[in-house]
Amino acid sequence: MTSQRHYSPADRLLLQADAALRTLLPFSGQPNRPSPAQAHPDSALDEAQARHVCGLMRINHTGEVCAQALYQGQALTAKLPAVRQAMEQAADEEIDHLAWCEQRIRELGGRPSLLNPLFYGLSFGIGATAGAISDRISLGFVAATEDQVVKHLDQHLAELPTGDARSQAILEQMREDELQHATAALDAGGLRFPAPIKAGMSLLSKVMTKTTYRI
């Protein structure tokens, strides 16, 4: 029979600090899966197209930074060990997306958003607050957030230049994973958020996308 290690509050804070550094420092997140882009040759994009795709991938990268912070915050305050474990596992899976997006941004000659530390802090606080209120609300927040991410991915897939198979492959795999995370959160007992709350979340996500596209 295996035993589960119990961490002190100080241990958990140190783990959170480590997770934040691995999320925010360049190339610090090591993906468990190879990038889907590797199966496709790079396409010849003109300067305007490359700049636009870079902006889109920067948005998605910041979205993954927010996801990491959200899950870490929820794991810190989750009441049930099973929920905490689920949050930590989801954060591990999102590391793939974080690394894939950063790789593609660098290929296009760009850099991640300078606002990532700010969005990490805000998302961590939201996640920790949701987890402290209840695990059901925390899981529901995951599902609602992933729904927002899927909508962004659908929009970005439609905006990609014809022939950019590398970016398309990344976004399509991310979309599939995010849908699974949303379904898993609801199946675990997550609260289905009402439309007004989802509308507020959508408004906040638009602020993030408008700023990180260029900054």
176 is in an annotated binding site: no
97 is in an annotated binding site: yes
| 186's tokens | 């609801």
Q: 101 Cβ partners below 8 Å, 6+ apart? A: 57, 58, 60, 61, 64, 170
The DSSP secondary structure of 150-186, one letter per residue, reads: HHHHHHHHHHSPTT-HHHHHHHHHHHHHHHHHHHHHH
47 is in an annotated binding site: no
Q: 43 Cβ partners below 8 Å, 6+ apart? A: 161, 163, 164, 165, 166
Helix (H, G, I), strand (E, B) or coil at 97: helix
61 is in an annotated binding site: no
Using CB atoms within 10 A of its CB, is residue 134 exposed (0-12), middle (13-18) or buried (19+)?
A: middle
| CA terminus-to-terminus distance, the chain | 50
93 is in an annotated binding site: no
65 within 8 A of 120, measured Cβ to Cβ: yes
Going by the annotation, the residues of the binding site are 64, 94, 97, 146, 178, 181
Sequence ranges of the binding site for Fe cation: 64, 94, 97, 146, 178, 181
